[in-house]
């Protein structure tokens, strides 16, 4: 089966929109509702957050959602079961995003087998060092056709960025700042950095995340990259009182995004 994420980048090059959410939040059964609702709307792919007790790169919003998800009883085995139940109905690429310790505890090959069974299109594991991945795990991930997505920051050297570009077979995640997710600095502060990355003319698509909160941020970032990831702002939106699906649609309406089937 051809990788959905690779298919996406073959057919759409610009203004890509990805949503990150913490699986098992706000309730244990929310994951499928979120994926189904986003999948029916103008969202190109989704990052499925694996809750972890000590998420180093995440700001307070995602940390809190991860804690609640764990308290709700979410774990990788249950998450994969939920994803398996919707693998036929969901047409959008899903990427697993979490921390290496969770994968190690689950078993690296067990994780990859479960990704294949549930039609997962890639993985983002920020604390897995590039060199260790290349030396110990690259061949294994590639044998299961699960692309690894690497992060770069404003402090990443051009040499390392170009090495990541050569290793990448999905996209590169350009973190817009060197702080945690959801901070109060606007995306416009990353203009020089994003322009520099654009000037490198890398072979891999670039998706930027951190500090994308609204339509204006989305449009600004897409001048320099192929698309954006929205995380903290979405999690705040679905944590409001009321119907989960309505909260998701209300959030997407701010971007003037309409269901694809209308």
Active-site amino acid positions: 47, 58
Helix (H) or strand (E) holding 101: helix 100-106
What integer pLDDT is reported at residue 59 of this predicted model?
Answer: 75
Q: Is residue 180 predicted with pLDDT exceeding 90?
A: no
Nearest-angstrom CA–CA distance, 88 and 71: 29
Q: Is residue 261 predicted with pLDDT exceeding 90?
A: no
Beta-bridge partner residues of 150: 172
Q: What is the pLDDT of residues 78-129, one digit of tens each?
A: 999 999 999 999 999 999 999 999 999 999 999 999 999 999 999 999 999 9
What is this structure's pTM? 0.92
Q: Does residue 123 contact residue 149 with C-beta atoms inside 8 Å?
A: yes
- Tokens standing for residue 11: 């057919």
- Is CATH 3.20.20.70 correct for 4-253? yes
The most confident of 3-17, 57-71, 184-198, by mean pLDDT: 3-17
Domain ranges (residues) in the chain: 4-253
Q: Does residue 73 contact residue 104 with C-beta atoms inside 8 Å?
A: no
Position with higher pLDDT, 179 vs 63: 63
**How far from the centroid of its chain's Cα atoms is residue 43's Cα?**
12
């Amino acid at each position: 089966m051809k990788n959905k994420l690779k298919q996406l980048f073959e057919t759409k090059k610009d203004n890509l929109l990805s949503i990150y959410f913490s699986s098992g939040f706000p309730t244990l059964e929310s994951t499928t509702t979120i994926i189904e609702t986003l999948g029916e709307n103008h969202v190109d792919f989704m990052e499925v957050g694996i809750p972890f007790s000590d998420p180093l790169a995440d700001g307070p919003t995602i940390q809190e959602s991860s804690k609640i998800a764990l308290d709700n009883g979410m774990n990788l085995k249950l998450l994969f079961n939920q994803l398996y139940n919707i693998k036929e109905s969901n047409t959008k690429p899903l990427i697993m995003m979490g921390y290496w310790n969770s994968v190690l505890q689950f078993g690296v090959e067990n994780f990859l087998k479960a990704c294949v069974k549930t039609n997962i299109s890639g993985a983002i594991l920020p604390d897995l060092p590039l060199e260790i991945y290349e030396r110990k795990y690259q061949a294994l991930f590639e044998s299961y056709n699960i692309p690894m997505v690497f992060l770069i920051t404003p402090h990443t050297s051009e040499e390392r960025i170009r090495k990541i570009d050569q290793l990448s077979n999905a996209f590169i995640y350009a973190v817009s700042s060197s702080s945690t997710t959801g901070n109060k600095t606007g995306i416009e502060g990353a203009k020089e950095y994003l322009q520099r990355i654009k000037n490198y003319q890398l072979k891999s698509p670039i998706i930027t995340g951190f500090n994308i909160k609204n339509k204006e941020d989305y449009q600004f970032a897409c001048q320099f990259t192929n698309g954006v990831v929205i995380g903290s702002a979405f999690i705040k939106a679905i944590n409001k009182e009321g119907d989960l699906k309505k909260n998701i649609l209300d959030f997407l309406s701010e971007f003037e995004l309409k269901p694809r089937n209308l």
